[in-house]
Structure formats: C-alpha cells, structure tokens
Structure 1
C-alpha cells in the first residue's frame, strides 16, 4: 500500500502481540524527520515492542508501519538495511568475532557482489570506532569485553551502517553514568551534524527530557502524551505514567524539565525519652 507520508517512518492502527498476549493495540505514531524521538514508560508498557515493529523485527498483528509511504513489510531487505539501522536489546555476537569484524558487518548492506570492501567501508568503520572510543579494542574478541565496552561496540556497528534512520533500544544499558552521557551526546551530534533521524527507548526520564526533541510517553500499550519535553514532562504525567509523586523543575544546565521524586522513605523519629520513674 502506498500513501503520501507526513514523516518517513510512521505507524497506523498498530496492534502488536506475542502469541496470545497483546502488548500494543490501535497505536498511531509519526516519527518527526531529522529529530531525536525518545520513547519512555514503565516496564512492560510496550515501548521496546513498538521499536521492534518500527525496525521490522516484529510483524504487526494488525495495522502497518510505513517507510516513505510504503508498507514496511514490502520494502526489500537490502534497501531497508541501507535506510534503517536497528540496535536491539542485548544482541548476541557470533562466537570469537573481533570488535573490528563485528563493526565491519554494519557495512554489508552497502557492499556489492563485485566489490566486497571499499575505501568508503574502511573509513566508515574507522570513524564508528573512533566516535564510540572503541578503536583500541579493535583486535579483541567481543565476548571478552565488559558489558559497557560491548554496548559501545554494538553502537559502533550501528553507526558504521550509516543509515538515515537509527533505532536504539536502551542504548545506555550496562554503561556507567559517564559513558551514558557520552553515548547520548554522540546520538545528539549525529542528529545535529548529519541530520540523522533517531528513535531511542530510554528508562531514564531525565535523560530522555534532556536529549529528545520529541518525547513519547507510553503506558499499557498506548501513547499517553507526545511532543516537546517541555510540554510533555509534568508532575501530572509522571504520576499518571509512572505512579510517582514528583516535582518538575527547570534543569539547571539545559533549562528543560527535570523530574525530582517526591519525599522518600525515612525512619520514624524516635519517641522522646520519658526518663526513669
């Protein structure tokens, strides 16, 4: 089916399920071109399931995902891989593969049968390793790396694929706070400097508010709110989506919304000493 798209990637009347369990039902979403869209929500709300459908890793039970107005299921595999890069949760590398070889696999959609490797491939891999600070790991087996190192290598492979749209499912998993900021800054630079459209699933609402242009808040398989973080992130929304009492204040660095959880548990004050009688 062909339609005139208002964005390159969109979903219409989308229902997603695993066997008999429906996770997302009747969902409609348009991904703004050239922006960073972040999907947030509590565990098991359907955000990762939605991302998988947007990357054709999960077939819809009903409805369609459209890429450039064409149903995603009808897009040839190589064309899709040149356009949409997907980093799923906890990917598994082939046994014994080195970092350089894994990142180089991101170039497969761009190769031709008469030219298996080119200078452009070499440059793309080198740049991806450099941008993710993994160049010094190039000769090491991926299965010997720490969780944080491995995650940066997978991101490097996604970058080497050099697609217009990049889908990232929990890209900061296993990373310490410094590397989380480094990865999200990298995503922001790719968007700003190269015009990449990015869709990411994040657990941290404050990180989402800081890095997103367009924020999508989900609960129980539906979209509760979407739009610029300054309009979406309110104390009322945090209560509705996460069941958390909070105060939303300006981020002292960006000026955007910052969620401060409400009163945490404290031990009760000891009873006053009545003295010995």
Structure 2
C-alpha cells in the first residue's frame, strides 16, 4: 500500500492534471479501515466522452467512482477537478460541477417523483430564490428524457425498481452538471430500458448545436458488451488496479477477458455497431453417466 503523498507529490499531481481532462486521479489509494481496495491508481477522464469502468466484483470500480465524486476520502494520492484537489473545493462548487448517482440511493419516505427530481436543482438555488423558471425547465427536461413525466405525482415508494432507477437518473440529469458519475445505472432495468438509458448517456455527450461540448460521463457497468458498445474510453480494473484502458476496439481482446474476468471467450464484431462483442467459450457440461 502506498503512503500518503507529500506536498511535493501533490503539486506534481496538480501540474499533470492541468495538462489533461477536468477530472483526474493521481496515485489514488482507497481503503476501508485496514483493507486497501484501490492502490496507487492514475486515471484521466476524457472531457465530453463516455468513460465506462468494468471489472469483476470487488475490484474497486464503485469505490473509485465514489472517490471521483468526493464521497470517499483517499487514503493516499488525490482526485483533482480542474487541477485542484476535491478536498480543497467548496461543496457547493463540486455539486454544481459533478453529479453522482450511487448504486443504491435511498429516497426520503413518501416523497413524490417530482419532489425527488427537483432536489437535483438544490446546488443551483439561493436563499433569496428557491425556485426559478430555469429550475422548472431543467426538471421537466430531465423527467421527459427518462420517461417519468407521467409519474410526477406518485410516491417513489410505490414504484417498481426500474421506475425508481429512472427517477434517480432524472434527478441526476436535473442537476445539469458538466460531469456525471453513474454507478451501475442499468440496475433493475429490463433490457429495453437498459438500452434507453445507455442511449441517453451517449446523447448527453453529444456537442450542442452551438458547438458547445457535451457532458462528460463516467459510469460503472457489469455488462462488458454494453460497455464496449457505449464507451468512448473503457477502463478495465482488477484487484484495485487498472489492467487496460483505451478505446474498446483497441483493448477488448480474448486475452484481456481471460486476465480480468477469468473467462475464455471469442471476440467478434457486434453485427449492429461493429464494436467488440464478447462471446463466452464453451459452457460447462455434465459428464454423461456411464
């Protein structure tokens, strides 16, 4: 396990971050009590792109995402936003820049869908102006994009798992941050809504009509084929370290799948997108009785 960096190493990390994207990690070590989960990780998040983190269970994917959103304090190293350590940035400014949807969010009891989505606007409000036309527009747009407008008056407690997940995503979208972190956003969704959500994620990064760069999205996914289809930048992790990162076409190979997931597989082009498609090897079969 690496030790906490000195001020000199932090200055070096800050200088490196200034040359890369807005959100970076340098020599990042994360731990829960005495158990190190992520060890000396360096990560650059490309601006205006979809970055997907994949890997086996307990490899540090979600832990890394939590640190990128300042929900977890590093044991060593640093996460930097625009070259400044997150720990040195006011909470309000971070909330205006980084939106985070955790894996298992919990809604206040009896809150309605509209009220929950509206909470995404809190970082943009002031004591003298609690709700504005801009807040209303952002909330309405977020609910329409996630197909939850018809659920506005219903209690979140009454919804199915898939409906609740789309409401949480709507709240994250209503926050309208430049950086959006999503931890397994397709959890509880059927295949049709999984595709809808991931298509939405792709659209969020598209440049605006005026040429303004789209949002930067970092998401954790379990499905390697979905990750390869939707990622601009794919990060494969194992045991708290990055094994490979880059364009899916460049890094998704049978050797990588074997190394990261312990799975024999064949990689073929996706017939729809041309992205790498992982086809598992021959399944286990019982030996016929003599």
TM-score with structure 2 setting the length: 0.92
Structure 1 stretches (4+) deviating beyond 3 angstroms? 267-271
Report whether the alignment pairs 1:236 with 2:241: no
Contact 1:46-1:221 within 8 A present in 2 as well: yes
Partner residue in 1 for 2:272: 253
Out of 53, 58, 78, the position equivalent to 1:39 is 53
Q: Over residues 165-208 of structure 1, what are the superposed CA-to-partner deviations in whole Å (9 max), with x where a residue is unaligned?
A: 00000000000111000000000011114511000000000000
Report whether the alignment pairs 1:149 with 2:168: no
Secondary structure of 1:140's partner? coil
Report whether the alignment pairs 1:102 with 2:116: yes
Take 1:6 and 1:224, find their aligned partners in 2: how far apart are those partners? Answer: 20
The 1:267–1:237 alpha-carbon spacing in structure 2 relative to 1, beyond 3 Å, is same
Secondary structure of 1:12's partner? strand
Take 1:175 and 1:141, find their aligned partners in 2: how far apart are those partners? Answer: 19
Take 2:145 and 2:240, find their aligned partners in 1: how far apart are those partners? Answer: 35
Take 1:267 and 1:70, find their aligned partners in 2: how far apart are those partners? Answer: 57
Structure 2: 5+ residue stretches without partners: 1-10, 209-213
Report whether the alignment pairs 1:176 with 2:190: yes
Take 1:41 and 1:163, find their aligned partners in 2: how far apart are those partners? Answer: 26
Take 2:83 and 2:285, find their aligned partners in 1: how far apart are those partners? Answer: 54
Contact 1:202-1:208 within 8 A present in 2 as well: yes
Contact 1:38-1:216 within 8 A present in 2 as well: yes
Take 2:205 and 2:276, find their aligned partners in 1: how far apart are those partners? Answer: 21
Secondary structure of 1:112's partner? coil
Structure 1: 5+ residue stretches without partners: 272-277
Out of 43, 48, 55, the position equivalent to 2:69 is 55
Contact 1:5-1:68 within 8 A present in 2 as well: no
Partner residue in 1 for 2:5: none
Partner residue in 2 for 1:160: 174
Take 1:70 and 1:109, find their aligned partners in 2: how far apart are those partners? Answer: 20
Equivalent runs, 1:66-77 vs 2, <5 Å: 66-77=80-91
Partner residue in 2 for 1:139: 153
Contact 1:85-1:165 within 8 A present in 2 as well: yes
Take 2:232 and 2:138, find their aligned partners in 1: how far apart are those partners? Answer: 27
Contact 1:126-1:135 within 8 A present in 2 as well: yes
Report whether the alignment pairs 1:213 with 2:227: no
Secondary structure of 1:11's partner? strand
User: Which of the two has higher C-alpha Rg?
Assistant: 1
